[in-house]
Structure 1
């Protein structure tokens, strides 16, 4: 029973407080609503004119409200709930793009409380970090002395920062319209000429590098051939007509073995074919000498056979004479 009476008393107190709380009026055509009388009428008119001009140029509406305390309007939790409730009631900005911004300043003495509520259309341009920088780093330092001019200065600087962030949010990008029949060749002539010039310079540079590399490779090749040919001639001079002629060592870059090319500076060196012919001629001479000696021996043998042929005949006759003599004697005996 006591608990029920306690809840009823709390409810009656809250109802009385809400009944005596102030209510915000409907949003008028003014952008500056100085309910706490923080700025002078001239400053309010100047700020209102600037915000109206900005709304016409950017489609973004920045509305300002000054109050003494959030509790006076039935929001004991502070400016967080009050800002959301007042933004939903006033709905600043265009409804189709939700481009409204509400700036609430509470308290005529430090510490000041400032709340900035943005519509969904400008949340990307004014994120939470930017809001904190504007309220804590721009507006509050300008309001530190609590005078009428300080309040106006803080509101001016805060709205300037908001306008700087949202001035291009809903403005379409300007396009350059060309006159019909205008000459558009110059638009492409300069980039095309620059591209051609750059390509030409690059090709010349690469050509010079490649040519230099080829010249160095050719010089190295000629130098290597000369060195190999000199070593080969040295080996040939040390050996007296060798039966085999060793080829010079194979160059690392050569694809197949081949004898070194004789440079033009070695024009007096005997060619390989001449040396081969000399060796063949020497071998033929030796063979001719051997054949000649063989023929000489054969002729001597024949001459010795011719000189002894007479004695051989007489011997042959003497060898056959007994038979003939016997025959003669026999015949004589017969005669006798």
Structure 2
């Protein structure tokens, strides 16, 4: 049964609750659907999709860390045509009322535009998450991510927005000196909102081989350890932009959800917590009303508005 206290609306997204499994941590929904009714979720961010099939990076590409994990999957996916032909129809059949956010990745503005144009035309895709910040692939640019350079970020977002049939939310990297300059460039390019943060970059070493555990050398660090970093960066962006933020980074409880909303988010992505507890999303949805009662929160839409008014004066 839907609890109307949890419902929120964002551009392109009418959510029964703010809980959204983050891209790369939920596949295309089919695996988790074996364990619970994924229609209970607010939305799903499907796995990153590129123009062509990608097998990703060599293994090992996952390593545990204190309070988190490293991953260097490398955008493994079947390619946009296969996603449109095979993955999205399954979601349309089994989750006809569930808003789908399609994560679009690429290595050039032309690829961002191509994938965005194709996938945004699919009926059950409600929004695009433009991934300009994956830390586990070589984008050229002298080792810099597109999302680390305001001019490059602007051009990539402009290319996608110009051909998209749905709102475009842009995924921001924490690996920048000043995230607000990137946010402003992305907003100027026509983005609808932000998703943030992507993973930090880290390493682990084997004592036995004295080599990096991750074959790629480095990996994206996620999990509870990065939660305070996410809060800080979300607050920074919320102070300079009125665009909605889908916050993510280490969230694994209803309390974390409310704290991230206080920081400036309007909806919440759940990532690594899905690996430690496959039922974490429905658990958070179930416990949110009780935690809201504890802190005198009547409904999330009002709470979000009050928090954002406090941030922006």
Q: Normalising by the residue count of structure 2, what TM-score does the alignment of the two structures yield?
A: 0.24
Structure whose residues are more often helix by fraction: 1
Structure whose residues are more often strand by fraction: 2
Task: Please say which structure displays the higher CA radius of gyration.
Answer: 1
Higher RCO, 1 vs 2 (CA within 8 Å, ≥6 residues apart): 2
